[in-house]
Structure 1
Amino acid sequence: MASKNSFLLKLPCKTPSLFLSLSLFFLFTLSLFILFYTPILKTSSPPPYFPISPPTTIKVYLADLPNSFNYDLLTHYWSLNTDTRLGSQVDNDIRKKLTKRSNLSHFLLPYPENPLIKQYSTEYWILGDLLTPQELRGASFAKRVFDFSEADVVFVPFFATLSAEMQLGVGKGVFRKKVDENEDYVRQKKVVDLVKSSDAWKRSGGRDHVFVLTDPVAMWHVRAEIAPAVLLVVDFGGWYRLDSKASSGNSSDMIQHTQVSLLKDVIVPYTHLLPRLQLSEDQNRQTLLYFKGAKHRHRGGLVREKLWDLLVNEPDVVMEEGFPNATGKEQSIKGMRGSEFCLHPAGDTPTSCRLFDAILSLCIPVIVSDDIELPFEGMVDYSNFSIFVPVSDALQPNWLLGHLRSFSKNQKDTLRLNMAHIQHIFEFDNGHPGGIGPVLPEGAVNYIWKKVYQKVPMIKETIIREKRKPKGVSVPLRCHCT
C-alpha cells in the first residue's frame, strides 16, 4: 500500500492539470503509433496462415490403456515377416537392424516407412508428445494432466491404423467380420470396453474423448459406439458407404453426417511421404502439370479416370501410374520438384497424401475434388497457394491446361512463396527416437491441438445439456454437414 500511495502522491493534485498531463501523454503515444505502425499496414500483405497464439493451452488427460494397444503393436509389426500388403524394402532393412538390437525399448521403435501405414501416423506423434516429460514440453500447445477432472479432453492412445493394416496384411478375408480370428476387431472392442467403463467416459458420455481415425478403415466395427467423441480424420470419405446406405430414398451421393461433423471433429493432414524442399533449393520447373497415382478409383474418384484420359497425351503433362514405394518415391520427388502444378483429383475419398507431398515439394496443388475438407482451415487460407477447380470445368476438353497456362510467372512465384511459409505446419516428425521429444512449435501436432481446443466450448455445452435431460430422453442425431 505504501508504494502505491507514494505513486499517487506524485500525481498533480488539481484535476485540470492531471487531465492535461494525461491528454498530452496519450497524444504523444498516439503520434508514435501512427508514425511507426501506419507504414506497416500499407506495405504488408496478409500471411498465408495465422500463427498459433501461444498464451493458451489445452489440458489433455491420457486414457489408461495398456501398451498392447499402441507401442506393443509396433513391436509386433517389426517382428512380422514381409508379405504382399505390408512388405516394404525400407521396412525390411529397418527390421534387420532392429533384430540386432535386442535391448531396444519398444518406446523407441520407429513408425513404419511403408507408405500404406506411414501416411496415417498422427496417433504416433501425438502420443509421443504427451509422453515427453513436461519440463521438455515448453513448445507444446497441449498440457498433460493426470486427473481427468482437470482435463479439457481425454486422448485415447490406440494405434488404430497399425492395428487395421496388420490385420489386412495377415488376414484380409476376415477384416469385415466380427469374429475372434479378426485380431483388429478384438482390439477395437477391448479398447471401447476399457474406455467406456472409465469414470472419465461416464462423466461426459465420451464427448470429450479424442480418437485418431485417419485410416479410412480404422476402428471400422465400433464407429457408432465412439461417434459422440472428437474424431481426428483426414476427411469424411470413410463414412461414405455407411451413410449412403442410411440415406434411403435420397441420392446415393448424399452423405448424412450423423457420426462425423465439422462441428465436433477435426480434419488432420496426412503424414507426407516425400522430403521437404526449401524455397532456396527450388530450381527451374520444366513440366506444367504432374500426377502420380492409381488411375482407377471408386465412387467420387471416377473423375480421376476421366481426367487421366483427357490429359495423358498432352504436352507438358506427366501422368504416371504408381505409388511412392522405394522406386516410386524417387520418381515422385523428381516429378513434383520439376513441375509447376501438381494435380490432386479425388480418389476413393476426397483427399490423399499426394496433396501434402505437393506442398512439401513446392508444387502448386491443383485441387479437383468438390467435396474436399482440408486441415486447419480458419488458420490456413489454401487459396493463397492452391488452385481450386470445379469438377465440371476440369472435365471440359482443353479447359484445365488453358487455365493453368494463364497464370503468369509472378503469380506462380507468389503462390510458391506463400506455400513455403506454411510447409512447417504439416510436419509431424520431431526428430526424436520413438517420436518422444519436444514437438515443432508451429508443426502439425500443435495445430491439431489448436483445432481441438476450438471444440472445447461446444463439448462442455453438450455435456451440460445432456445432464439436464430427463431420464430416457436422448439427443437426436442431426445432419451437420458444414
Structure 2
Amino acid sequence: MGKPFAGKCSPEVWFGILISFILCFLLLLFDYPNTFSRVNNGVSLFESTQTHPIGIVNNQSNSVINQSTTDSCSGRYVFIHDDLPAKFNYDLLNNCESLTEGSNMPNMCPYIKNFGFGPEINNSEGVLSNKRWFSTNQFSLELIFHNKMKQYECLTNNSAQASAIYIPIYVGLEDSQHLWDPNLTARDSFGEDFSKWVSRRSEWKKMWGRDHFFVSGRVAFDYRRKTDNISDWGSKLRVLPESKNMTMLAIEASSRKNDIAIPYPTGFHPAKDSEVFQWQNKVRKQERPYLFAFVGAPRPDHPNSPRGKLFDQCRASSTCKVLNCHSSGINCEDTVTVMRVFQRSVYCLQPTGDTFTRKSAFDSFLAGCIPVFFHPASAYNQYLWHLPKNHSMYSVFIPVSEVKDLEDGSIEKTLLGISKDKELAMREEVIRLIPKLVYGDPRSRLGTQDAFDIAVNKILERIENVRKVIRQGRDPSIGFAEKDGNKFLFPEELY
C-alpha cells in the first residue's frame, strides 16, 4: 500500500495548479463584463454608463427579440411602485370619510368596496341581467385600475426588465379634498411631494420618467392650474417639471399629449365572457319605445350650454324621455334608474356638462343607446384608444352652434331623418364596443380585451415609440431644462 497523503505536493503538481489558476483568472478577466451582464438580466452596467444619457442600451432591443420566442411577456413587463408611501394611496382609503370635505363628491367609503366597484346591486327590478352590476362611482377609476394592475399577467419585480413603470397614486381622491381650498399650499403639496419622491428613485433615471404612468379618476383640467391666483381652479400637479415627463391616464384628457383619456367606469364589471354575451343579447333585443332621451341636469348658470334647449325640445316631443336630475325624488347616480331610461331609447343626448365629457355617455353605450354628441371633445378627441376613428359608425353629431339656433322639434326631425338601416348599423356597433368600454373583474380575464387591457397595451406601445426615437440617435434632452441632474420637458411630438 502507498503512503497516506501527508499534505505535501511535488513541484510538478504545484506548477500544474498555478497554470490552472492563471488560465481561470484570464478567462474571468476577458469574459467578466458579459458575466456581469448576465447577472443583471442582460443589461451591462458598463454599457449603461457610456454614450446613452438616459440609460437606454442599444443591444437591449436585440435581447428582447431573442427572448420573444420563449417569453410571452417580452416587451410587456410592467413594474409597480409598491413601495410608494401609503400617504399617496392607502391612507386615503383608510380615511375615506375625509374625501368628501369641501367637494361635490358623495361619501366615498361605500364606493371603495369590491375592488373600487362599490356596493353590488342585488335587485335591479329586471333592468339588469345578472349579478355583475355595482353602484360604481365615476371617481373610483384609479382604485379600479390599481386592483386590476395587481393581477396583470406580466408584472415584474425587476424594474430593469420592465417596459413601463406604473405608479399606484390616488391623485383624484386626494385632489377632491382641496379643489375648493383657498390655501394653494394645501392644493399643491401632495403633487409636489409625489414628484420629488418619484424623481429620486433609481427607476426614474432609466428614461427620466418617460416610461412612468399613473391614473386619475378626475379630469386632467383639475391638475393644470396656470397661476397662483386663488380663484383659479385645481392644483399644479401636471405643470410640475417631473410630472410633465410622465403620462397620466384620466377620464378626460387635456390638449397636452401626455394626458390620455380612458373610459369612465360604469356599473358593469363582468367576470366571464358569457356575462358579456348575455348582456349584449339583452340590449340587442330590447324594445325601444322612445326615439331619444336626455338624462341630466340643466345648467342655468351656463348661458352657452345647450342643455336648456335640449330640455325644452325633449319635453315638447312625445317620442322623448327626459330625466331631470335636479328634480325631487330622481337619483341619477342610481345605475338602475339611468339604465332603465337608456335601454328604452334609440338615441341618447350627450351634451357637455361641467366639462366636455360625461359618464352618461358610457352608460349610453352600455345600454345599446346610440349617443348624440354636440361637441367633438365629448368623445371624438378624447377616447382615441377605445373608440373607432370613424365616429359616424356609432354616434350622431350635431354641432353645438346649431343646437343654440335649433327650432322647436328640430332634434326630433334630425333623428327621424336617419334611415332604419343606418340606425340598426349604429346600434350594432355600439353593442359591439361594450366589452372594450368596461372594466372586468380583476380576479378573472375575459376572452376579449376590456378597457384596462386596451389602456395597458397602448401605454406600452406609446413608451416603445419613445424608445425607438432614442435608438435612432436623437437626443430628446437638447434645448430643455435640467433640474438637479434630471432632464425634463420631453418634446411632445415624440410621443
Partner AA of 1:62 in structure 2: I
3-state SS in 1 of match to 2:372: strand
1:278 aligns with 2:280: yes
**Alignment equivalent of 1:419, drawn from 430, 444, 456:** 430
Give how far 1:461 is off: 4.8
Question: 1:66: how far off?
Answer: 2.4
* SS state at 2:336 partner: helix
State which of 62, 84, 89 in structure 1 corresponds to 2:80. Answer: 62
SS in 2 for 1:232: strand
Matches within 5 A, 1:226-245: 226-236=243-253
Q: Say yes or no: does 1:200 pair with 2:194.
A: no
Q: What do the CA deviations read for 1:176-208 (whole angstroms, capped 9, x no partner)?
A: 5333xx3x6443332222111112223322211
Q: 1:388 aligns with which of 394, 397, 417?
A: 397
- From 58, 77, 89, the counterpart of 2:96: 77
Distance in 2 (alpha carbons) for counterparts of 1:378 and 1:87 = 28
RMSD over aligned Cα atoms: 3.9
The match for 2:66 is none
Q: In structure 2, what is the equivalent of residue 42 of structure 1?
A: none
Match of 1:44? none
Residues 57 and 126 of structure 1, relative CA distance in 2, 3 Å threshold: farther
For each residue in 1:263-302, what CA deviation from the matched residue of structure 2 results, as whole angstroms up to 9, or x when unmatched? Answer: x443200012478843335421111111111211777962
Q: Supply the AA of the counterpart residue of 2:282.
A: S
- Is 1:221 aligned to 2:232, yes or no? no
CA contact (8 A) 2:217 2:250 kept: yes
Using the TM superposition, name which of 367-376 and 203-212 deviates more: 367-376
Higher mean Cα deviation, 107-116 or 380-389?
A: 107-116
Is the Cα–Cα contact under 8 Å of residues 279 and 362 in structure 1 kept in the other structure?
no
User: Aligned ranges for residues 118-133 of structure 1 at < 5 Å?
Assistant: 118-132=137-151
Aligned to 1:19: none
| Matching residue's letter, 2:417 | S
Matching residue of 1:400: 411
Q: Which residue of 1 aligns with 2:355?
A: 349
Q: Which has the higher contact order (CA 8 A, sep 6+)?
A: 1
Q: Which position in structure 2 is the counterpart of 1:149?
A: 160
Q: Which has the higher helix share?
A: 1
Question: What's the counterpart of residue 320 of structure 1?
Answer: 323
Cα distance change of structure 1 residues 375 and 326 upon mapping to structure 2, 3 Å threshold: closer
Contact 1:376 1:448 in 2 (8 A): no
Q: Which moved more, 1:222-231 or 1:75-84?
A: 75-84
The alpha-carbon distance between structure 1 residues 274 and 297, as it changes in their structure 2 partners (threshold 3 A), is: farther
TM-score by length of 2: 0.64
Q: Is the 8 A contact 1:62 1:155 kept in 2?
A: yes
Q: Distance in 2 between matches of 1:224 and 1:116?
A: 34
Name the counterpart of 1:455. 462
Q: Partner letter of residue 411 of structure 2? A: L
**How many corresponding residue pairs?**
372
Q: Deviations over 1:395-452 (max 9, x none)?
A: 432433212112233332222222222201111141xxxx5x3443511110101221
Q: Deviations over 1:192-237 (max 9, x none)?
A: 221111122233222111021340235823211212211212333x
SS in structure 2 opposite 1:145?
coil
Answer yes or no: is the 8 Å Cα contact 2:476–2:490 preserved in 1: no
Instruction: After TM superposition, give the deviation of residue 391 of structure 1 in Å.
Output: 2.2
Counterpart-to-counterpart distance in 1, 2:321 and 2:215: 35
Conservation of the 8 A alpha-carbon contact between 2:251 and 2:261: yes
SS at match of 1:278: helix
Q: Identify if the C-alpha distance between structure 1 residues 68 and 297 changes in structure 2 by more than 3 Å, giving closer, same or farther.
A: farther
User: Amino acid of the residue matched to residue 455 of structure 1?
Assistant: R
Measure, in 2, the Cα distance between the counterparts of 1:406 and 1:472.
Answer: 56
Q: Which amino acid aligns with 1:317?
A: C
Q: Once the two structures are superposed, what CA deviation does each residue of 1:61-99 show, in whole Å capped at 9, x if it has no partner?
A: 1123023322332222168899984445xx67x59xxxx
Shift of 1:479: 8.0
Q: How far apart, CA to CA, are the structure 2 residues paired with 1:271 and 1:378? A: 13
Give the aligned residue type for 1:331.
T
Which amino acid is the alignment partner of residue 166 of structure 2?
Answer: F
CA contact (8 A) 1:425 1:444 kept: yes
Give a deviation string over 1:306-333, Cα, whole Å, max 9, x none.
4334444233123332178477543312
| Cα shift at 1:57 | 5.3
- The separation in 1 between residues aligned to 2:435 and 2:249, in whole angstroms, is 19
- Output the CA distance in 1 between the equivalents of 2:338 and 2:296: 10
SS at match of 1:357: helix
Distance 1:399 1:356 in 2: 25
Q: Any conservation in 1 of the 2:217–2:251 contact (CA below 8 Å)? A: yes
- Distance in 2 of aligned mates of 1:469 and 1:302: 44
Measured after TM superposition, the shift of residue 360 of structure 1 is 0.4
When normalised by structure 1's length, the TM-score is 0.66
Gaps of 5+ in 2: 1-71, 121-133, 224-233, 270-275
Aligned twin of 2:344: 338
Relative distance call for 1:399 and 1:58 in structure 2 (3 A) is farther
Cα distance in 2 for partners of 1:414, 1:428 equals 25
